[in-house]
Amino acid sequence: MSKKFIYKYLSEEDLKSISVKISEIEKTTSGELVITIKEKRGWFEKTKSVRTLAEKEFVDAKIGKTKGSTGILIFMLFNAKEFCILADKKINELVEQSVWDEISNIMSLDFKQENFCKGILNAVEQAGKILSTHFPIQPGDVNELSNEVIIK
């Protein structure tokens, strides 16, 4: 599947600003943030929920393998305008799913107004605040996962 679809929604500058925002946030937390954008469901994914697809991506991107179990995935299925935010087990012990659902709902409103970059940046900021509050940066912290937006 071609990754060129993304340029209908986000420019190179938008993608860069999202990666920079992730880098800035990760300087304040021991957690990891990953953004994955997929255009649409694949042929064998037609009946799968956005959550099921996000769970697969969570594993594929190795988010569950972070040192402190403090990774967050923001997964977007662009054509369907569906979102799922998954947090690792240490985060889920402290943060209710309703918090992630609310962030997804706000992102959805931005997307409906075609404010794609704004919606993603807002979600990243909200997730970052949660991470820095509960999992502040630790001495010797290492960036375990790429801050680049994953486009599938």
Q: Average pLDDT of 53-57?
A: 97
Hunting for tokens 């569950």 — which residue is that?
64
Q: What is the pLDDT of residues 36-51, one digit of tens each?
A: 999 999 999 999 999 9
How far is residue 139's CA from residue 137's CA, in Å, rounded to a whole number?
7
H helices of the chain, in order, are 12-26, 50-60, 89-92, 97-112, 116-134
Distance between CA atoms of 87 and 97, rounded to whole angstroms? 9
Q: What is the pLDDT of residue 77?
A: 92
Task: List, for residues 83-121, the tens digit of each pLDDT value.
Answer: 999 999 999 999 998 999 899 999 989 999 999 999 999
Average pLDDT of the segment spanning 16-31: 96
Residue 27 has pLDDT above 60, yes or no: yes
Q: What is the value of pTM for the model shown?
A: 0.95
Whether 1 shows a pLDDT value over 60: the answer reads no
Indicate the pLDDT class of residue 79, thresholds 50, 70 and 90. confident
Residue listed under structure tokens 């021991």: 30
Map out the domains of the chain as residue ranges.
Answer: 4-151
**Radius of gyration over every alpha carbon of the chain, rounded to an integer in angstroms:** 15
What average pLDDT score do residues 123-135 get?
A: 96
Structure tokens at 11: 């420019």
Q: What is the CATH number of domain 4-151?
A: 3.10.310.50
